């Protein structure tokens, strides 16, 4: 077992190419065993980056050289070869390894990750800092073709090309992000993959030049000639127009080819773009056959009773049915058609479904444009990812008071994915924006009614946020109907204390009231339903009646629902 000998990247440099290939197989076996069988987590992306990871750590000297991973979906092999092998079985578990990159977890995790398209910007900052401080090290950003659909990545590429600092960008191109890639970029990458004239000619010239004395110098000088050749045999490549020297496509599973490529690009001054073709789910046939299904693995408990329907599925099915009657409804997602529950909508109403890629800023303003023309856009975006489009929510939607519906999945604490994915800031960051209405359902049935409420609300933007995973198991009876805006629900009355809860905390609040009743304390329980506007009359009456108020929410305390209630009392 070679993996048992790897306590850090320096140990990789002692292995031969065949030994590295065997190590790659061992790493895949560990990922399959732990992730698919025990902990759950991102599965197919990590199987696809094993050889790429080994080659990077073989050629570069982490942590002196800076390797920055985008998102973190593909960083499990990196963790296994950077001193965390013995703790890998704890990944995504309480007290264990993070499922993403964390600077405090390892000196080899150069930049925290969890959201997409950040790696090139961060790596460029490190490269510029090295120049300013007079330090010599290599900086590598590893980004997937899905994350490359995010506008921030192009902002960084544009800046890097103009600065001409030594930066290596490695594109892990598996033709997918989480869902199949969309947009003009995906089509462009496909053309590069299938066109071999330019890359074959370039490779042949490089082989000839390497045989000459001072071959590396001749190789660098040859790039000017190759630019002319490129214009003859293939259309201008966007990467080189941005100021990068392009290498690729290279086989992302051929360790020897990867090592040779990285050893070469280390010698080039200025920004370099390496295009590696990989297979998502490599080495595990079910994942290779269906990488979309196997993007993440979850662990099923044998003998567990069937779970209630997931909130995302109730949302998607309800929106699909509402769209059958209301032709104004348009659904938008940012590369999460399955995670948001919109696949049924996409199938039933393909002309009204838009997956814009990992581009939350564009998604929000695109929705705003649709709303100006009388449509009812529903932007289904995870709570944590809507943060990425905050200016667009304010400037393009709320200030113009446009009737955009924000369906915010994964609200509250999301469990194993950890701090980068918790949806705990939404109440605070939305509540302060003019014209925004905010609601949160207590269960999956109330979600249906709130979605109908949002569709029917035409006076401005409205957001409904709901948690990850299964509902509480209530029956879904009848057609969804609109709820009165800004009105809560009185669930029970008591004279000793008022418990005012919102969203997923309502059911626990009811259980707490039952425990209090056993101790002789009678509680009023209110399902607030709305964070903004509050049901002021209901809350003030409960406060007057009991003299003691407790608010409950699964969100950031500062600026959240409880803060809104305190502000009401302070008037």
Sheet of strand 497-501, all strands in order from the earlier edge strand to the far edge? 489-492, 523-527, 497-501, 549-552
| Contacts (Cβ under 8 Å, ≥6 apart) of 162 | 243
Same domain, 374 and 512: no
Q: Is residue 321 part of a domain?
A: yes
**Which bin fits 478, alpha (ψ -120 to 50), beta or left (φ > 0)?**
left
Q: What is the dihedral of CA 349, 352, 353, 354, to 10 degrees?
A: 160
Contact 247, 222 (CB under 8 A): no
* CA max distance for the chain: 92
Same domain, 39 and 115: yes
Here the CATH number for the domain that contains residue 36 is: 3.40.50.970
Same domain, 417 and 345: yes
Query: How far is residue 399's CA from residue 252's CA, in Å, rounded to a whole number?
Result: 47
Note the Cα 358 to chain centre separation in Å: 8
pLDDT of res. 194: 43
Q: Is residue 8 part of a domain?
A: yes
Number of H helices, E strands in the chain: 23, 18
pLDDT of res. 305: 74
Count of structural domains, the chain = 3
For residue 110, the 8-state DSSP code is -
Query: Among 79, 91, 107, which residue's Cα sits nearest to residue 3?
Result: 79
Q: Which residues pair with 526 in a beta bridge?
A: 490, 500
**Residue 384 host element (H or E):** helix 383-386
β strands within 334-468, DSSP E: 353-355, 376-380, 405-411, 437-439, 462-467
Q: Which residues pair with 521 in a beta bridge?
A: none
- 3 state DSSP class of 23: helix
Q: Which residues pair with 408 in a beta bridge?
A: 465
Query: How far is residue 146's CA from residue 357's CA, in Å, rounded to a whole number?
Result: 7
Q: Is residue 18 part of a domain?
A: yes
Same domain, 128 and 183: yes
Structural domain of residue 136, as residue ranges?
3-195+234-294
- Identify the domain boundary among 265, 294, 323: 294
Q: Is residue 300 part of a domain?
A: no
Q: How far apart are the first and last CA of the chain?
A: 69
Tokens of 15: 């292995």
Give catalytic residue positions. 280, 360, 388
pLDDT of res. 418: 66
Same domain, 385 and 508: no
Same domain, 154 and 11: yes
The count of other CB atoms within 10 Å of the CB of residue 570 is: 6
Here the CATH number for the domain that contains residue 536 is: 3.40.50.920
| Contacts (Cβ under 8 Å, ≥6 apart) of 432 | 559
Q: Is residue 481 part of a domain?
A: no
Same domain, 342 and 240: no
Query: How far is residue 486's CA from residue 284's CA, in Å, rounded to a whole number?
Result: 51
State the 10-residue block means of pLDDT for the chain, 571 residues long: 90 95 93 84 85 96 94 86 89 83 87 85 94 94 85 90 91 69 52 51 65 66 55 55 87 95 91 92 77 61 76 97 97 92 97 92 96 97 93 97 97 75 90 97 98 98 95 93 98 97 97 97 98 98 97 94 97 88
Q: Where are the alpha helices (DSSP H) in 195-302?
A: 197-210, 215-233, 238-241, 255-265, 285-289
Contact 465, 447 (CB under 8 A): no
- Identify the domain boundary among 408, 436, 467: 467
- Identify the domain boundary among 245, 265, 294: 294
Same domain, 330 and 457: yes
Query: How far is residue 225's CA from residue 190's CA, in Å, rounded to a whole number?
Result: 25
For residue 370, the 8-state DSSP code is H
Same domain, 249 and 353: no
Q: Is residue 438 part of a domain?
A: yes
Contact 254, 51 (CB under 8 A): yes
| Contacts (Cβ under 8 Å, ≥6 apart) of 429 | 387, 390, 559
Q: Which residues pair with 438 in a beta bridge?
A: 463, 532
Q: Is residue 501 part of a domain?
A: yes
| Contacts (Cβ under 8 Å, ≥6 apart) of 244 | 157, 160, 161, 169, 270, 271, 272, 273
Same domain, 41 and 88: yes
Same domain, 167 and 137: yes
Q: Is residue 303 part of a domain?
A: no
Same domain, 281 and 344: no
Contact 381, 360 (CB under 8 A): yes
pLDDT of res. 443: 97
């Amino acid at each position: 077992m070679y993996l048992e000998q790897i306590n850090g990247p320096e140990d990789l440099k002692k292995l031969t190419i065949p030994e590295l290939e065997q190590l790659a197989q061992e790493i895949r076996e560990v990922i399959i065993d732990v992730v698919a069988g025990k902990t759950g987590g991102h599965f197919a992306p990590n199987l696809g980056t094993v050889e790429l990871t080994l080659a990077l750590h073989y050629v570069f000297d982490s942590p002196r050289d800076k390797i920055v991973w985008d998102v973190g979906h593909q960083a499990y092999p990196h963790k296994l070869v950077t001193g965390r092998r013995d703790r890998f079985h704890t990944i995504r578990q309480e007290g264990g390894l993070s499922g993403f990159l964390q600077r405090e977890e390892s000196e080899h995790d150069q930049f925290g990750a969890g959201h997409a398209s950040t790696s090139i910007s961060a790596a460029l900052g490190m490269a510029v800092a090295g120049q300013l401080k007079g330090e010599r090290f290599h900086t590598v950003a590893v980004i997937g073709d899905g994350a490359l659909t995010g506008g921030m990545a192009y902002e960084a590429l544009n800046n890097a090309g103009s600065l001409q600092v030594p930066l290596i960008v490695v594109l892990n191109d598996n033709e997918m992000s989480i869902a199949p890639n969309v947009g003009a970029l995906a089509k462009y990458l496909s053309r590069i993959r299938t066109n071999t004239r330019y890359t074959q000619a370039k490779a042949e010239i490089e082989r000839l030049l390497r045989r000459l004395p001072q071959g590396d110098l001749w190789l660098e000088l040859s790039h000017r000639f190759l630019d002319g050749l490129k214009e003859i045999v293939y259309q201008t490549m966007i990467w080189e127009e941005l100021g990068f020297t392009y290498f690729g496509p290279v086989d992302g599973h051929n360790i020897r080819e990867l090592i040779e490529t990285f050893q070469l690009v280390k010698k080039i001054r200025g920004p370099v773009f390496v295009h590696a073709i990989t297979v998502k789910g490599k080495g595990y046939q079910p994942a290779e056959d269906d990488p979309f299904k196997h993007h993440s693995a979850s662990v099923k408990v044998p003998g567990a009773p069937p779970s209630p329907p997931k909130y995302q599925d109730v949302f998607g099915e309800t929106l699909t049915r509402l769209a059958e009657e209301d032709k104004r409804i348009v659904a938008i997602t940012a590369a999460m058609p399955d995670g948001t529950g919109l696949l049924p909508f996409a199938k039933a109403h393909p002309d009204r479904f838009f997956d814009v890629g990992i581009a939350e800023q564009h998604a929000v303003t695109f929705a705003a444009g649709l709303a100006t023309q009388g449509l009812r856009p529903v932007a289904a975006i995870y709570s944590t990812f809507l943060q990425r489009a905050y200016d667009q929510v304010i400037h393009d939607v709320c200030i113009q008071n446009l009737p955009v519906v924000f369906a915010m999945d994964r609200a509250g604490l999301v469990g194993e994915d950890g701090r980068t994915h918790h949806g705990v800031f939404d109440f605070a960051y939305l509540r302060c924006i003019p014209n925004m209405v905010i609601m949160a359902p207590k269960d999956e049935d109330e979600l249906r009614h709130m979605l109908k409420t949002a569709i029917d609300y035409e006076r401005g933007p409205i957001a409904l946020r709901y948690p990850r995973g299964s509902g509480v198991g209530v029956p879904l009876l009848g057609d969804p109907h609109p709820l009165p805006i800004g009105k809560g629900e009185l669930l029970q009355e008591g004279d000793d204390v008022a418990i005012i809860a919102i969203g997923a905390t309502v059911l626990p609040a009811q259980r707490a009231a039952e425990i209090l009743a056993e101790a002789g304390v009678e509680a009023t329980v209110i399902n607030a339903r709305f964070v903004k506007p509050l049901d002021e009359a209901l809350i003030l009456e409960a406060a007057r009646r009991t003299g003691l108020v407790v608010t409950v929410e699964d969100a950031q305390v500062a600026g959240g629902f409880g803060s809104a209630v305190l502000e009401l009392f302070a008037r």
